[in-house]
Chain A
Amino acid sequence: MDILPILSTLRRHKLTSWLLILEIALTCAIVCNAVFLIGQRLQRMDMPSGVAEHELLQIQVADVMTPSNPYARLAEDIAVLRQVPGVQSVASSNQVPFGNSSSNANIRLDPAQQERTLNATTYFGENLSQTLGTRLVSGRDLQPDDFVDVEAALKALGTGDSKSLPHVTLITQALAERLWPGQNPLGRIIYLTPVVGLRVVGVLDSLARPNAYDTAQAQYTTVMPLRMGADKDLSYLIRTRPEDRANVLAAALAALKKADPQRVVTIKRSFDDVRQKFFQDDRAMAGMLVGVIVALLIVTALGIVGLASFWVAQRRRMIGVRRALGATRANILHYFQTENFLLATIGIALGMVLAYGINLFLMLHYELPRLPAVYFPVGAIVLWLIGQVAVLGPAMRAAAVPPVVATRSV
């Protein structure tokens, strides 16, 4: 196909051509960035938690009156829950991955250090690794004699009484790699305060933070041997088989209620619900982005249909003359297809530059990574396809113009 005649025709319709090019460029730029954003969100929603997600239940109960001995109360509750048929393991925990509500600590590698090295989350509670299903990659798990009571530890913080403070901790692989890149973390010490130094005794494969907003820091996690008493902020975590979850949850709640009818259940859910709730905004955002992309492509396609139809109508005589001079229907069809391809190509080229610019802006304001180059050819192919599909109808109508039109005056 000879493109020179097409270019010379387009030169006579400069304004309209440029508008079409501009529309394609804007669409291309927005679609590239929107698809990239969707990818980011989907990737975030896939964030690993490190726990046996489909086998876990979370229950929080609150007493109306603070029990006189919260530790005894906790032991009773755990015993009650262990009796429930289908329960494989029960843990108490101050928090759960993706649970939002979190306890965190500033970590230093040297007690005299001015700035913290980083901020990590602190899990505590009993029987956690076994119930959550976290995998130990090296070292050992926490032992019963590592544990101290959390209230005693809090008091000891002020007095400096080191006997009541915890001395060991588990950390995740990601945290170990961040603190001591390429070295063996076992036996090393992290400091939470100038007096609280914890020796790393075990490394966990993975355990996400409750507040995993930032992917890079999502695995900065420690597990400490602190024993808590029954409290409204304490969770009971139950491990069971996936198919038993609903039954076990109902039975566990009934058992807890039976032990003390006066208390209030504030949280009862499966870990699937926890994940679903934590990432709900990301899911909504991804959905909205898909909607915008579809709407944009439709509007652009309809715009191309409209303009192409107008051009075809305007050039009926010209088409008739060409047909009368021997051009085949295929020639006419190809003419309009090539014309659209040319305009789309210029639009896409401009769109790429614009997409890159928008990405730079987003990187500056929303902490997004750089747009990977793979999005450019994908965006180009999508827009070429849309353009060709949109122009097909008007081009076929053009091809159907009979040669006799040339002899008629309008």
Chain B
Amino acid sequence: MFSYYLDLALRSLRRNKALTALMVLAIALGIGASMTTLTVLHVLSGDPLPGRSAQLYYPQIDPQDIKGMQPDKEPPDQVTLIDGMNLLHAKRADRQALMSGGSVPIQPLQSSLDPFYVETRYTTADFFPMFGTPFLYGHGWNAADDEAKARDVVIAKSLNDKLFAGADSVGRTLRMAGASFRVVGVLDSWQPNPHFYDLNTGSYAYAEQVFLPFQTMLDLHLSRNGSNDCWGNGGGGSGSILPSDDCVWLQFWVQLDSAAKAAAYREFLVHYSQEQKVLGRFQRAPNVRLRNVMQWLRYQMVVPDDVRLQTGLAFGFLLVCLVNTVGLMLAKFMRRAAELGVRRALGASRRALFTQLLVESGVIGLFGGIGGLLLALFGLWLVRQRPSAYAALAHLDISMLFTTFVLALCATLLAGLLPAWRACQIAPALQLKSN
């Protein structure tokens, strides 16, 4: 029966090509626009470390002075050097890392290459196992290397390709900022999006080329990038001067493998704040937060407002396209009142007619979906030409491809319901008589 309906649908669609094309075009435009924006939204609000992010937490404590304190105000987004070191050495989490962004000049040994600056992450050892970074060669450094201010470096694949022609460079020497470092590991391509562990660098499409022990940065006064927030007489630091003790400028991440551990860690943060208050360092009552990766990204509102606005706009457009299609389909079905009347008179049930008409709208939906997919691919190509940092990430994945067709089919079937129902209400006798 289905294939018969399909045949009828195709015949009917062929009979009025312009109208069919119009309906398919409207659906395709609506689907194309909404899938383009939805894909961008989906990519930008994605999980940067699937499978791990739920166990990764970002502790926040409040070391600010009493000035301007309000009971429900959020603590700062980063930690001070003293607190960072204290929390790191407390080792109360399964893993923990203290870090900051920066950039260092690389001095290639090859005379053919001029010195160049690369984006750098200064971090303690747990960074690599905690974030599950993939290693091409070698491995990270350990906590003892951190304390020893080791001149160890982990480099990204792209830098390894540039400097060592992609060879296993573990053990080789790399000169940076006038000092010699030993390559201990080479990372395979790794770029979590959003760049959750430090959003000061820009949220998307940012990847460090060089990873150095945090204490080595302090030792060598390497240059830092990021944001400093100070209070009281705090000064933000400049050149080789570090930000003062009244400034937050570091990111601190912990791994907590169970909810119980997370609750315990929260307790520990409250405890730590109380202890610091007794010592006179903290002035405020304990004000702590412990968000996991996705909660942190939501709190920081990383997805640009423009992207949300565009998605809303595209769905508004889809709605107009659907209303348009409902109107056109209604017109088309009603115009075939006579034919439907004959079929009813010959014994077809209302249900059968209804199914037949729905098959017809489903066919339009399918074609609209294909057209919409092509338009979405084109739309995403257009998005990728944009200058925004996230533009390069706009690609359709399997789940969005599937969503496109489901959306197109559901939308058109929904749009077909009203016209099909209306057309089935026709009294057969009346239609036969009048013409």
Separation in Å of the A84 CB from the closest CB of chain B?
Answer: 22
Which residues between 287 and 314 of chain A lie within 8 Å of chain B, taking CB atoms?
Answer: 288-289, 292, 295-296, 299-300, 302-303, 306-307, 310-311, 313-314
Please pick, from A62, A157, A284, the residue contacting B234 in the complex, using a CB distance under 8 A: A157
Please pick, from A22, A70, A116, the residue contacting B68 in the complex, using a CB distance under 8 A: A116
B241 touches A284 (CB 8 A): no
Of the listed stretches B83-91, B135-143, B144-152, B308-316, chain A binds B308-316
A310 touches B388 (CB 8 A): no
Separation in Å of the B384 CB from the closest CB of chain A?
Answer: 12
B105 touches A64 (CB 8 A): yes
Digitize B1-28: 1 where CB-to-A-CB distance is under 8 Å, 0 elsewhere: 0000000000000000001001001100
A410 touches B435 (CB 8 A): yes
Q: Does B323 contact A (CB under 8 A)?
A: yes
**Across the interface, which residues of A come within 8 angstroms of B317, CB to CB?**
30, 292, 295-296, 299
Which residues between 40 and 63 of chain B lie within 8 Å of chain A, taking CB atoms?
Answer: none
Of the listed stretches A169-177, A179-187, A226-234, A241-249, chain B binds A226-234
Not counting A284-B387, A295-B29, A306-B22, a sample of 7 additional A-B residue pairs whose C-beta atoms are within 8 angstroms of each other reads A22-B323, A153-B235, A232-B117, A264-B117, A307-B328, A314-B335, A409-B435
- Knowing A26-B316, A295-B317 are in contact, say whether A366-B330 is a contact too (CB < 8 A): no
Q: Does A381 contact B (CB under 8 A)?
A: no
**Across the interface, which residues of B come within 8 angstroms of A299, CB to CB?**
26, 29-30, 317, 320-321, 324
- Knowing A157-B244, A264-B117, A306-B327 are in contact, say whether A366-B309 is a contact too (CB < 8 A): yes
B68 touches A115 (CB 8 A): yes
**Across the interface, which residues of B come within 8 angstroms of A150, CB to CB?**
238
Specify the main secondary structure of chain A where it touches its partner: helix
A302: nearest chain-B partner, CB-CB:
B22
**Across the interface, which residues of A come within 8 angstroms of B435, CB to CB?**
409-410
**How many residues of B are counted as interface, with CB atoms below 8 angstroms from the partner's CB atoms?**
59
User: How far apart sit A154 and B240, CA to CA, in the bound complex (Å)?
Assistant: 12
- Knowing A15-B422, A27-B320 are in contact, say whether A284-B233 is a contact too (CB < 8 A): no
A307 touches B68 (CB 8 A): no
B67 touches A114 (CB 8 A): yes
**Across the interface, which residues of B come within 8 angstroms of A310, CB to CB?**
19, 328, 331-332, 335
User: How far apart sit A193 and B313, CA to CA, in the bound complex (Å)?
Assistant: 45
Which of B68, B235, B236, B326 has its CB near the most chain A CB atoms (within 10 A)?
Answer: B235
Q: Does B190 contact A (CB under 8 A)?
A: no
User: How far apart sit A264 and B104, CA to CA, in the bound complex (Å)?
Assistant: 11
**Across the interface, which residues of B come within 8 angstroms of A19, CB to CB?**
323, 326-327, 330
B240 touches A103 (CB 8 A): no
B26 touches A158 (CB 8 A): no
B244 touches A20 (CB 8 A): no
Digitize B94-117: 1 where CB-to-A-CB distance is under 8 Å, 0 elsewhere: 000000000101010000001111
Q: Does A266 contact B (CB under 8 A)?
A: yes
Which residues between 389 and 426 of chain B lie within 8 Å of chain A, taking CB atoms?
Answer: 418, 422
Which residues between 327 and 362 of chain B lie within 8 Å of chain A, taking CB atoms?
Answer: 327-328, 330-332, 334-335
- Knowing A231-B238, A292-B313, A299-B324 are in contact, say whether A277-B387 is a contact too (CB < 8 A): yes
B313 touches A34 (CB 8 A): yes
- Knowing A15-B330, A285-B306, A292-B313 are in contact, say whether A302-B238 is a contact too (CB < 8 A): no
User: How far apart sit A302 and B373, CA to CA, in the bound complex (Å)?
Assistant: 21
Digitize A181-219: 1 where CB-to-B-CB distance is under 8 Å, 0 elsewhere: 000000000000111000000000000000000000000
Please pick, from A103, A280, A410, the residue contacting B387 in the complex, using a CB distance under 8 A: A280
- Knowing A70-B239, A300-B324 are in contact, say whether A160-B233 is a contact too (CB < 8 A): yes
Separation in Å of the B383 CB from the closest CB of chain A?
Answer: 9
Ordered nearest first, which 5 A-B pairs have the shortest CB separation? Answer: A310-B331, A303-B324, A19-B327, A154-B235, A157-B235
Q: Does B248 contact A (CB under 8 A)?
A: no
Q: Does A331 contact B (CB under 8 A)?
A: no
User: How far apart sit A195 and B238, CA to CA, in the bound complex (Å)?
Assistant: 19
Q: Does B178 contact A (CB under 8 A)?
A: yes
User: How far apart sit A310 and B324, CA to CA, in the bound complex (Å)?
Assistant: 14
B221 touches A66 (CB 8 A): yes
Q: Does B232 contact A (CB under 8 A)?
A: yes
Digitize B270-305: 1 where CB-to-A-CB distance is under 8 Å, 0 elsewhere: 000000000000000000000000000000000011
User: How far apart sit A30 and B326, CA to CA, in the bound complex (Å)?
Assistant: 19
**Across the interface, which residues of A come within 8 angstroms of B115, CB to CB?**
64, 262-264
A66 touches B239 (CB 8 A): yes
B331 touches A154 (CB 8 A): no
User: How far apart sit A295 and B234, CA to CA, in the bound complex (Å)?
Assistant: 54
Digitize B59-92: 1 where CB-to-A-CB distance is under 8 Å, 0 elsewhere: 0000000011000000000000000000000000
Which residues between 364 and 410 of chain A lie within 8 Å of chain B, taking CB atoms?
Answer: 366, 409-410
- Knowing A26-B316, A229-B239, A310-B331 are in contact, say whether A264-B324 is a contact too (CB < 8 A): no
Separation in Å of the B345 CB from the closest CB of chain A?
Answer: 18
Which of B306, B332, B388 has its CB near the most chain A CB atoms (within 10 A)?
Answer: B306
- Knowing A292-B317, A310-B331 are in contact, say whether A154-B237 is a contact too (CB < 8 A): yes
B66: nearest chain-A partner, CB-CB:
A114
Separation in Å of the A148 CB from the closest CB of chain B?
Answer: 13
Q: Does A339 contact B (CB under 8 A)?
A: no
Q: Does A65 contact B (CB under 8 A)?
A: yes
A65 touches B239 (CB 8 A): no
B335 touches A158 (CB 8 A): no
A64 touches B177 (CB 8 A): yes
Q: Does B319 contact A (CB under 8 A)?
A: yes
User: How far apart sit A263 and B107, CA to CA, in the bound complex (Å)?
Assistant: 10
